[in-house]
Amino acid sequence: MRKKWLIFIVLLLAVPYVRAQGHQGETSFDWGWLFARYGWQADGTRIPEPVSPEQYAFDDSGWRKLDLPHDWGIEGPFRPDLEGFTGKLPWKGIGWYRKHFRIPAKDKGKQYYLDFDGAMANAEVWLNGEKVGDRPYGYISFRVDLTPHIRWGEENVVAVRLNTEKLGSRWYPGAGIYRHVRLVVTDPVHVAQWGVFVTTPHITDEEGKVSVNVKIQNDGPVETECSYTVDIYELNTDDVRGKKVAVSPSRKLVLPSDVSGSDSVLLKVAFPKRWSLEHTNRYMASVKVFRNKKKVDVYEVPFGFRTIQFTHDNGFLLNGKRVQINGTCNHHDLGALGAAVNEAALKRQLMILKSFGCNALRTSHNPPAPELLTLADKLGFLVMDEAFDCWGVGKKEYDYGALFPKWHERDIESLVCRDRNHPSVILWSTGNEVEEQYHPESGMARHLTEVVHRFDNTRPVTFGASYPSKSAMNGTELQVDVHGMNYAAGVYGGPYFYGEFLNKEGHEYLSGYSSESSSTMSSRGEYFPRRFHVSSYDLNEPGWGGLPDQEFAALDRYPGICGEFVWTGFDYLGEPTPYNSDNSVLLNHVAALSEEEMEQQKKALEDIEKNRPTSRSSYFGIVDLAGFPKDRYYLYQSRWLPQLPMVHILPHWNFPDKEGEVIPVFVYTSGDEAELFLNGKSLGKKKKQAYEYRLRWEDVIYQPGELKAVAYKHGQKWAETEVRTTGRAVKLKLTPDKTSIKADGDDLVFVKVSFLDEKGDEVPVAENLVSCTLNGAGRIVATDNGDPTCLIPFSSPVRPAFNGLLLAVVKAERGHKGMLHFVAEAEGLEKAELDIQIETGYRKKR
């Protein structure tokens, strides 16, 4: 037995494993916390906070045990009385977390830090009753130093208080320590937090120059001489270190007590493999710090060789080649899992985005979880990394507007220093639709651009301007490096504007892109929408938005523009426009609305108030909240993956009560023409005209049977598809995203449940109630069906399907082995079963 363990440990140590940047030997601090909720409770009652829960001796024996990441808001239940922007989830409250842990006496003299990737919100942290830090912005990563208040050789207690009662948000923010926490134990002389900055100032096919700036901190009591070296390794996509490709000479630093010092070293890598969207080659800089000839710290940073350039008239260039930005904006929630970060869920989202050709992400409107950027590096996405939704002028009470004066410089520093080594990050965004854009004289945009450049001058700075027609030529656009335009298709698409803009004096070098586009709304699979739904014909947009086709046309007319970030890739919790009872959207654009438009907005809001929609998540997604593609997915796929032979028909063909009635049929294809057949009879061939992106047969008379589309490209057959009227559902079908799971406490399997008729065709309208069960050492953590109006808690294993689909999310208990057996049942239907193998060997990653 002993021997087995030894082999296991040796194997673990032998794999040179790097997850993200950080100190070798950092450990996860996610497990074994205690939690209690005070202030507002889920049911709307209040529980007062007890006296001093931060104290060492506070009695927390009745608190709930849990592991991080944790989001208390997603636990629900949904509250119909809450406003739409909240996601109708009761996230407002005061959360306390405590964790008891021992620190060995032999570590006295070392530094102990806790690194929080993010805590929502207004975090205050204590160790053994002593305050060690606070950080109000819930999306920012921060560190606290535990060292001065440690009880060496004894039990220690860390306590965290979070307050979301004083948090204003236009969407569902989540609540709790919703990202990872790590314990960092170092020598007093160590690499400072985010203290390694790798740049690649010169790249040719033969040689890549790598400049590594290292900041070392001396927390010891005396002046110390130390040295450091940098080695560069190849890094594969599984984060395993490969060949060593460069070694630096040793460099010396003398650091007085309590001071940090920086130094740079230049290395050369022969024949560097460039990072691109297709080939995500990465390298790793490993910095070793020595004191008295002893190695005291190792800090590792993945990075990539690539060049980026935003041009005035030829869009965005990656490694010198034009890449059209086919991006999506996304909020940070993971649907039914809420804001609690989960790598498997993030990866699933990115793979879905990739499958329709999305190649860029805007982290609207806040700093993302670090895992998102590592995944973007590995999977090949460009990232616009965004800091804030507002500057000094807030959009809601208690939002970032209140924090801005005191915190914005520090928050920008943390964001940029944390994320500046990721090859995927191509743009820093300081904000979204900020009121200050209308006041160029304030110089605020310039100030923020300068703050970012203090910490990284290798990437341009931008922000998303609303109503660019009003602010794009007032001078604000010259205070950033690249001009972001929200909902501007009508503006730059119109010949009167963009030409004028491009040619304006001072704009000779300015590059532009659509920082937010479309905002088309739909409910998946709804064509003749029920109450509080929006049709899936992809023809509905809010007043400020547009249809995908309009943006495509504008971009085709002005290829100098770098591309777009569509609002949004996924549906998200909160902001259920057009059934949003929140008025922040109105306030958001107040400077640009006419009196008449303002009246219309107010009237729309009054109607919503009267009708009390149950809508709790958005309709904007190309993909629904559960991760199922809407029709729009295929429209984007047809444009963004032009080489993929594909054709898609909408709607489905199950309308028993519409026989003889007109039903429009749309076809999305990467071909240039298509012929439509109903029950074998041609309904004609249609060809895309200039600036036309979908083919429409507006007056098809419905009769049950088969609708088939044959697409052509350059006159050759390109792709074919059909939709059939189905019978009623007789059995269930399960499609998991994978068939094995790691028992590491994080990994998830996503199981799609669909319905088959007698012939084995999927029934697109089935809405049967499905019960999911799981046998074995695991549990069903959530279910969802993509219906934005459904108020059944996400934790329920019983849920009706929505337009033919349901999702169940499965997790294995940490450290367990064996098989999980998943069963889905619906009354009167043949059940479906699935085995999921638990992978042996697990490890909490850094």
- Rounded Cα distance, 279 and 277, in Å: 6
Smallest separation (angstroms) from ligand GAL to the CB of 84: 12
Closest to 318 (Cα-Cα) out of 328, 306, 327? 306
The region, left, alpha or beta by phi > 0 then psi within -120 to 50, assigned to residue 303 is beta
Cβ-based nearer residue to ligand GAL, 200 or 518: 518
Closest to 359 (Cα-Cα) out of 334, 384, 335, 331? 384
Closest to 811 (Cα-Cα) out of 774, 773, 780, 772? 780
* Residue 205: count of CB within 10 angstroms of its CB: 8
Cβ-based nearer residue to ligand GAL, 86 or 486: 486
Pairing of strands 673-678, 681-687: antiparallel
- Rounded Cα distance, 373 and 352, in Å: 16
Cβ-based nearer residue to ligand GAL, 418 or 533: 533
Q: Confirm if 484 and 503 have CB atoms less than 8 A apart.
A: no
- Residue matched to tokens 């656009």: 477
- Rounded Cα distance, 246 and 490, in Å: 51
CA distances from 595 to 73, 486, 586, 599, 622 (A): 38, 22, 12, 6, 32
- Rounded Cα distance, 809 and 778, in Å: 11
Cβ-based nearer residue to ligand GAL, 20 or 361: 361
Smallest separation (angstroms) from ligand GAL to the CB of 570: 13
Q: Confirm if 647 and 671 have CB atoms less than 8 A apart.
A: yes
Query: Which residues have a Cβ under 8 Å from the Cβ of 699 and sit 6 or more positions away?
Result: 662, 664
Smallest separation (angstroms) from ligand GAL to the CB of 484: 11
| Residue ranges in contact with ligand GAL by CB under 6 A | 432-433, 466, 486, 516, 519, 542, 544-545, 567, 575, 577, 585, 588
Cβ-based nearer residue to ligand GAL, 356 or 487: 487
Q: Where are the beta strands (DSSP E) in 433-546?
A: 461-465, 482-486, 511-518
Greatest pairwise CA separation for the chain in angstroms: 89
The residues annotated as belonging to the active site are 433, 516
Smallest separation (angstroms) from ligand GAL to the CB of 52: 39
Cβ-based nearer residue to ligand GAL, 479 or 588: 588
Pairing of strands 511-518, 482-486: parallel
Smallest separation (angstroms) from ligand GAL to the CB of 842: 38
- Rounded Cα distance, 821 and 787, in Å: 27
Closest to 209 (Cα-Cα) out of 254, 266, 153? 266
Cβ-based nearer residue to ligand GAL, 466 or 514: 466
First to last CA, the chain: 27
Smallest separation (angstroms) from ligand GAL to the CB of 585: 6
Smallest separation (angstroms) from ligand GAL to the CB of 560: 24
Smallest separation (angstroms) from ligand GAL to the CB of 432: 5
- Rounded Cα distance, 727 and 389, in Å: 48
Smallest separation (angstroms) from ligand GAL to the CB of 519: 4
Closest to 666 (Cα-Cα) out of 693, 701, 644? 693
**C-alpha dihedral over 692, 695, 696, 702, to 10 degrees?**
-170
* Residue 111: count of CB within 10 angstroms of its CB: 20
- Rounded Cα distance, 179 and 371, in Å: 10
Smallest separation (angstroms) from ligand GAL to the CB of 617: 13
Cβ-based nearer residue to ligand GAL, 85 or 755: 85
Cβ-based nearer residue to ligand GAL, 223 or 397: 397
- Residue matched to tokens 């083919």: 695
Query: Amino acid identity, residue 165?
Result: E
- Read off the DSSP letter of residue 73: G
Which residue number is nearest to ligand GAL in terms of Cβ?
519
Cβ-based nearer residue to ligand GAL, 112 or 570: 570
